Each structure stands twice: as C-alpha cells, then as structure tokens.
Structure 1
C-alpha cells in the first residue's frame, strides 16, 4: 500500500509522516506493523526456500523477500526511524534476546521438513550401539512408540511439533 500511495504522488510520503505523527490510531497501527517486520527474517525465509521449494518456484520467494525489504524501507520512512523498533527499545531488546533461540528452531524445522518430505530418508539402527546405550535411550524409544500412526520416520513428527510450538512461543507479542 505504501508503494502505491507514494508512487501515485510523492507528496503522499509527507502526508503519511504527518499522519504517523498526528493520528494516534495510525501511529499504533504502523508501530504494530513495525513489530511484525522486526520478527521477520529474510535469511531464514531463504533457507526454507533452498531446502524445501522446487527450483522453478524459488524466484517467488526471492520476489517476496524483495517486497519485504522495500516495504520495510518505506515503513521506516513513514515512521521516521532509522531501524525497526527504534521507538520501543525495550521490545527491541526482548526480540533480540529471543532471536538466537527462534532462529535455531527455524533451522531445525526446515531440516526436519526436508527429511519428512524425502521418500528415501529412513532411520536405521546403528548396529554398533551397545545394549547399554540402547537401554539408556529407552525413554526416548518409549516416546516414539506413543505415536505409532505417524507416517514419518521415528522422532521427525515430534521434532516438527516441538519446533512449531517453540517458534510460536518465541513469536508471541513480547511487549
């Protein structure tokens, strides 16, 4: 929407800036959009594309990331900020603290999805494992047996669910 309004008449950028500064509802709305953008990560998006998207469709992801960056730039112009969440350093700090955890969960999730989708991926027992090691992993084996209807290799569906829950917890409104 920013792009359309600004391209229609470049003076509209000044109007949007004035609206941001003068209208509380507009300001709060833009600040919420800014928070959503602060949670986005183009590099993680590119990883999902690289691992999971057919090559002939990857240009769509590239275009979406370009649109994301362009919209972010326009959002910053309207708010007058140099970087996202400049107006809310507390929230910015909270998101930065969560970022390493959410990022690694996204990486785990992308690779788990890749394995789930790979028809040639099968987990086989390592014949070199001793009975002691097998017995020490008994709680894990018991957990895997709790989900006998899974079409995935043992543990993959559970890993996917855990990453989904972890990412969702990390992405909650954190203010």
Structure 2
C-alpha cells in the first residue's frame, strides 16, 4: 500500500524522498564513534538500539520507495553526497575527538605506528590556535570544535 502511495501521491513521494536524503547523510559508524568517546558505557546499548532502528527504518524506507539502495532515484544527489563524505567524516571524527578532549583534558590519543608526529609549522595553523586565547580549554580545542560545527 505504501509503495502505491509513493507512486501515486506526489506529496507522499517528496516526503519519503526527503527522509531518504536524511538517511543517506546519516552514518551509523560515526554515531558509534560518538558513543564510544562521549557517552557513558551504561548508555551504549541505547545507541546500539538506535542504530538498529536506523537500519530497520532504512530497509522499510527502501521498500516503500522501491529502491535497492538509498538515493537510487536521484543519482546526482547521491554523487554529490558521496563527494562530500570524506570531508564530513573527517570533520565528524575531529569533532568527536575534540569534544572528548574538552570533556576529559587527561585524554590523549595514541598515534598508530605508521603515523608520524612530524609536522610543518604554518602560519594559518598558528593563527587558528590563537583565534580564542581566552578559552578555558587547551589552545585550539574550542576553535577546532567551532570549525568542525561550521564545516559539518
């Protein structure tokens, strides 16, 4: 019945297409990272339940739209979202670790062996760190959080 409504009722179709776009932008993996870093362990099961509900709802949404994958009916939008995925994912990861660091100043990220600690000082990075020298957090943390929110 819902599939027939999707095909026959323009308003219903547009609504389902908008919900499909929202689901295409969602990333349960990033949500799991936020849980792991920022949520107390006793609430992790709630996050797992939400991610399970996300997958179930996505499956039902695809059935209603008659699609095999999200945004199958809008390949241009699908391509645009794919192009931005690497940037958005990076910003989300930066935001999650920045929030973790702000909430727990003793938290330190352990670098993997293949990642070097060497970096080249550059004026723009130094300027970013000095954007908000009055912050109560370590230099650059609050600015990083603000930049990730604006970027996302």
Q: TM-score of the superposition, structure 2-length normalised?
A: 0.85
Post-superposition shift, 1:119?
Answer: 3.6
Q: Give the corresponding residue for 2:142.
A: 157
Q: Give the corresponding residue for 1:65.
A: 51
Within a 5 Å distance, the mapping from 1:1-175 to structure 2 comes to 15-120=1-106, 140-141=125-126, 143-167=128-152
CA contact (8 A) 2:135 2:142 kept: yes
Counterpart CA distance in 1 for 2:33 and 2:96 is 7
Q: Give the corresponding residue for 1:171.
A: none
Q: Give the corresponding residue for 1:8.
A: none
Structure 1 residues 87, 20: closer, same or farther in 2, change over 3 A?
same
Counterpart CA distance in 1 for 2:130 and 2:84 is 32
SS of aligned partner of 1:18: helix
Instruction: Give the total of aligned pairs.
Output: 141
Deviations 1:106-161 (A, max 9, x none): 11111111111114359xxxxxxxxxx9xx66765555444233111000011111
List alignment gaps of at least 5 residues for structure 2: 109-119
Q: TM-score of the superposition, structure 1-length normalised?
A: 0.75
Structure 1 residues 147, 79: closer, same or farther in 2, change over 3 A?
same
Deviations 1:25-52 (A, max 9, x none): 0000000000000000000000111111
Counterpart CA distance in 1 for 2:124 and 2:89 is 28
CA contact (8 A) 2:130 2:140 kept: no
Counterpart CA distance in 2 for 1:107 and 1:146 is 21
Higher Rg of the two aligned structures: 1
Counterpart CA distance in 2 for 1:101 and 1:37 is 18
Structure 1 residues 89, 159: closer, same or farther in 2, change over 3 A?
same
